Structure 1
Amino acid sequence: MAVFSMWVKRAPSRLLPCLSSLSYKQNGSSYKSNGFSSQRNGYDNKSSYDSGKYQRNGFGGQRSGGYGGQRNGFGNKGGWNDQNSLQTINWESKSLMPFEKNFYEPHPNVKKRSEYEVEQYRQSNEITIDGDAPSPIQNFDETNFPDYVMDQIKSQGYEKPTCIQAQGWPLALSGKNMVGIAQTGSGKTLAYILPAIVHINNQQPLSRGDGPIALVLAPTRELAQQIQQVANEFGHSTYVRNTCVFGGAPKGPQARDLERGVEIVIATPGRLIDFLEKGTTNLQRCTYLVLDEADRMLDMGFEPQIRKILGQIRPDRQTLMWSATWPKEVKRLAQDFLSDYVQINIGSLQLSANHNILQIVDVCGENEKEFKLNTLLQEIGDNVDRDSKVIIFVETKRKVEDITRTIRKFGWPAVCMHGDKSQQERDYVLRQFRNGKSTILVATDVAARGLDVDGIKFVINYDYPNSSEDYIHRIGRTGRSNTTGTSYAFFTPNNSKQAKDLVSVLKEANQVVNPKLEDMAKRSGGYGGGNNRWGGFRGSYRGGRDSQPKRMKW
């Protein structure tokens, strides 16, 4: 059977043609989805913020008593016991030491460019600015990075800055608060890590008992660890220490790092609150704050934790918020915690997907999914390179386990990942998937972002997500770095409210629209020119309409 397979002014101090034509009847037991489920929400948080307007369409019905004290699906303790919760610091009563945060000096080439040239560059790269921002740099030579940073950039093989870096670096180094809206994989991590290093190296060294100078909050442990890899690559030569704190791993080593003192802390909200409540660390020295994938953190119900943490950080800090979408919840968070911020949008303002991905939507019934999945996997296994990797996205943890067992029963080498897996189990699963020993990964949305694995050729949405931006994040696991990929989605009548947005996404990417889907979109209220509600979902992997991969011959 086939297996598929400077700013710094001194030296540093530290993946078938449409299956909807097939009419199969499911003879075995089907998976009941009951909407978006009673016990777990789609993002695996048992303790999602379920107090009313933040409840997501009936998600998370088990823990509906406020903030919840149990652990969420990512191993982060909710920590909302009133007896242990942190008290917001009254900063007006504090005597705050002044600090410097503007380290940007434009390169002479940047200064020479006219406003027309700057605007032409921004328009050609779909960079939109809301606020007063410095002119973008266009190559690394214009960054005026010190030698120790430039050496690392060259050793990593970077040729030129991405759009978010070209505009984001001057803005971040100017010390201004900013919101960056760009798709996952567009270079955001480097856009804030390098300015963080510059910021840190221009502050007073840490003293015993001091907390970090820079804090990066991320929604999942996988993304946090990916951020740490970048911080390690560029922090080593600059003597900037970091640690990564997240749930699902022993607290001891993380606590020791915090107690010894580190300049950068990369954290998931729940575990960080654990350490703050215990006094293991504090955020009173934090002057550089990053909220990465803010939309994802809010979708996962982390807003109360984020607000709690921000109450521990001095208000005159520099704050950088990064997001792939711009829903009203993210906008409200920015208005509450970022005074006088500049917003950068990269890409089209229309909800859009990577044009290098062939998108196939199968309109079917819920009880047809299991048979269709097995048929689809058989087709893939018989016709595609055995080393090609596949991710199958489903909504709940229990269904992840059920589908994985079913796939293995049919002889496919599959592993699974969801929020109840320990860190050791997650690491093992990712190793098996990365090295190709298991070429099928069944996962919840825990793998929708922050997962960068080479060779993923197919993405299958067994359960269509609750929002089209999550769909785009899921399929974005393939077609990375200008490669091509194919995505499949099983779309049922239960998903009809998403039909309009999905049709817009497909048409924007010049994809063939299933007539059944188009009819469903019309019956659900019509469709039109894209979903702008998200105010800037980016398509920064924009390969152009001519780059759409050809359909495979089966």
Structure 2
Amino acid sequence: MVKHQLLLSKSHKKRKRDVTQDQVEESTDKPSPSKKTKKKRHDRAREPDATPTETMVTSHQPSTSSEPPIKQCSPAEAEAFLQKHSITISNQTQGDAVVPVTSFDQLSIPDGLRGAFTGFNEPTPIQACTWPPALKGKDVVGIAETGSGKTLAFGIPALARLIASPEQSKKKQSTISVLVVAPTRELAIQTHDALSALGAPFGIASVAVYGGVPKDAQVKALANGNAGGKITRIVVGTPGRIIDLVHDGVCDLSRVNYLVLDEADRMLDKGFENDITKIISYTIQGEERQTMMFSATWPEAVRRLASSFQHNPVRVTVGSDDLTANSRVEQIVDVFDDPYAKDDRLFNRLKSLSHKKTSHKGSDEARILIFALYKKEATRIEQSLGRAGYDVGALHGDMTQSARISALEKFKTGETGLLVATDVAARGLDIPNVGAVINYTFPLTLEDYIHRIGRTGRGGRTGKSITFFTGENHERALAGELARVLREGGFDTEADKLKKFPMTIKKKGHAAYGAFFRDDITAAPTKIVFE
């Protein structure tokens, strides 16, 4: 009996060695390796299966650097950093407190990811405090102002996680592990471009899915994603299109274990809560999924979402839980008695900003972003500036998606120095070298105003915003709120210009449900039975 077992064992080992040999040989035309070489290959091939527990842990909490990180900052230095940037960290355990990463050298990540830091001296506050828990596989909530570097805050841990757990392309199994949900098409495209650049050296591809364009190209990209030496492991998209493609059976999210909700407050404010819940249900459930949520504010609706789908998240707040203006942006207000004088003032402001009429691709000249409230108004301003000889583009809802992408790309590269946009461009977009923002018409809410001026002063730079204010229509009711924002930023002189208008502060309303929407009601509805 013992002899029979030994024969079976030898036969089994021989079969395994034959299979392993077939897997490691690159070509049948090459000469057969020696027995010693075969044995080495056989041992290497068996190593990943030898410790399955360690492999599983590594995929959830990536340790991605072969070199030990340099010495972390001391507790005193960490406390000074938190106080300097007004950072609050909640839900951290006593034995695992978050130590800010104050230098890129302190990050334990693959060298190929460090190219993303080119041009930056140090991590932004939100990056410094979200990277440590995120790289350990913990759920994170990040609350920070616009232009604070949130894309890399979740992008670096996402790529580190993917690199630590390489995926083999299998036709019958989804390879998508990372899903990023964004509120707008432009933000989805921007995030996709950033993650694609990060993943390219490692053979990791990303696909962007969003509405406003036919599905065909996106369906084809998802179907042919595992080609060209790259494997599609990331999907970035807007809620509606993600759900459509899942229902069509072309986007399988069942293996997503890293989920990002970017601009979460904006998505909830636009009425996407049910869509987000549905999308989350398509992914891996429970603690096996790491969920990252980033937002500019921390209202009750966002808190409720975090408590529903995250597991003991570490919450990092830079500044206030409420929406605040970028402190590096100088805010200027021009008050008008005659609304028709705004065109002349616009040309005068462009001259005072020393903006050149012509521009060229790759120009280092600072761009200027001009915001209009309505699509037709944006078109009129664009045409007026064009007739005056300015290189100008437009970005609004009446344009096709391809035209919008082209206009945005020309503005980013400096081919056009001016861009006239509606609020579609105000949220989340990271446009390099925007020196000033001009609000030709005041937006409908103070939140939109703050996000508009947040397009400048990004990445630690300074910027300038110039706002034309007439007090007409909706503007009169927002004068008090604008004055409050100006005073909070230290621009009292500018706030005094608005004293001619009522200084009342309107109750905050909901974009989808109006001023009487309540987001603090958690009790279940009472069922009434009539007998």
Same fold (TM over 0.5): yes
Contact 2:332 2:466 in 1 (8 A): yes
Q: Which amino acid aligns with 1:234?
A: L
**Alignment size in residue pairs:** 424
Q: Secondary structure at the match of 2:293?
A: strand
More off after superposition, 461-470 vs 421-430? 461-470
Q: Secondary structure at the match of 1:449?
A: coil
Q: Which amino acid aligns with 2:61?
A: N
Residue 379 (structure 1) aligned with residue 342 (structure 2): no
Which residue does the alignment assign to 2:157? 195
Contact 1:374 1:407 in 2 (8 A): no
1:237-276 equivalences in 2 (<5 Å): 237-261=201-225, 262-276=232-246
> Hey, what's the Cα distance between the residues in 2 that align with 1:301 and 1:524?
24
Change (3 A) 1:298 1:418: farther
Residue 489 (structure 1) aligned with residue 489 (structure 2): no
Which residue does the alignment assign to 1:181? 143
| Shift of residue 248, structure 1, vs aligned partner | 3.2
Q: Which amino acid aligns with 2:83?
A: Q
Ranked by relative contact order (alpha carbons within 8 Å, sequence separation 6 or more), the top structure is 1
Which residue does the alignment assign to 1:64? none
Out of 225, 237, 250, which is 2:189 matched to? 225
1:429-444 equivalences in 2 (<5 Å): 429-434=407-412, 438-444=416-422
Out of 81, 84, 91, which is 1:131 matched to? 91
Change (3 A) 1:445 1:432: same
Out of 437, 443, 447, which is 1:465 matched to? 443
Residue 340 (structure 1) aligned with residue 328 (structure 2): no
Out of 162, 169, 193, which is 2:131 matched to? 169
Change (3 A) 1:237 1:331: same
Q: Which amino acid aligns with 1:479?
A: G
Which residue does the alignment assign to 1:305? 275
Out of 142, 148, 152, which is 2:112 matched to? 148
| Shift of residue 359, structure 1, vs aligned partner | 1.9
Q: Which amino acid aligns with 1:373?
A: K
Which residue does the alignment assign to 1:327? 299
> Hey, what's the Cα distance between the residues in 1 that align with 2:166 and 2:112?
20
Contact 2:143 2:297 in 1 (8 A): yes
Change (3 A) 1:304 1:398: farther
Out of 82, 90, 102, which is 1:122 matched to? 82
| Shift of residue 373, structure 1, vs aligned partner | 2.1
| Shift of residue 108, structure 1, vs aligned partner | 7.0
> Hey, what's the Cα distance between the residues in 2 that align with 1:347 and 1:507?
16
Length-normalised TM-score, structure 2:
0.72
> Hey, what's the Cα distance between the residues in 2 that align with 1:473 and 1:500?
18
Q: Greater Rg, structure 1 or structure 2?
A: 2
Flag structure 1 segments of 5+ consecutive residues without an equivalent: 1-96, 527-554
Which residue does the alignment assign to 2:498? 517
Q: Which amino acid aligns with 2:308?
A: D
| Shift of residue 488, structure 1, vs aligned partner | 1.6
Normalized per residue, the structure richer in helix is 2
Which residue does the alignment assign to 2:526? none
Q: Secondary structure at the match of 1:201?
A: helix
Q: Could you tell me the percent identity over the aligned residues?
A: 39
Q: Secondary structure at the match of 1:321?
A: strand
Length-normalised TM-score, structure 1:
0.69
Q: Secondary structure at the match of 1:282?
A: coil
Q: Which amino acid aligns with 1:162?
A: T
Which residue does the alignment assign to 2:45? none
Which residue does the alignment assign to 1:113? 74
> Hey, what's the Cα distance between the residues in 2 that align with 1:207 and 1:497?
58
Contact 1:391 1:456 in 2 (8 A): yes
Residue 396 (structure 1) aligned with residue 374 (structure 2): yes
Which residue does the alignment assign to 2:253? 283
> Hey, what's the Cα distance between the residues in 2 that align with 1:409 and 1:337?
53
> Hey, what's the Cα distance between the residues in 1 that align with 2:350 and 2:124?
36
Which residue does the alignment assign to 1:477? 455
> Hey, what's the Cα distance between the residues in 2 that align with 1:437 and 1:141?
35
- 4+ long deviations beyond 6 Å: 105-108
Q: Secondary structure at the match of 2:201?
A: coil
Flag structure 2 segments of 5+ consecutive residues without an equivalent: 1-54, 226-231, 358-365, 508-531
Which residue does the alignment assign to 2:527? none
> Hey, what's the Cα distance between the residues in 2 that align with 1:463 and 1:328?
30
Contact 1:211 1:284 in 2 (8 A): no
More off after superposition, 348-357 vs 313-322? 348-357
User: 1:230-274 CA distances to partner (integer Å, 9 max, x unpaired)?
Assistant: 212221222222111222344333222322451111112222122
| Shift of residue 455, structure 1, vs aligned partner | 4.7
Change (3 A) 1:454 1:149: closer
> Hey, what's the Cα distance between the residues in 1 that align with 2:190 and 2:215?
19
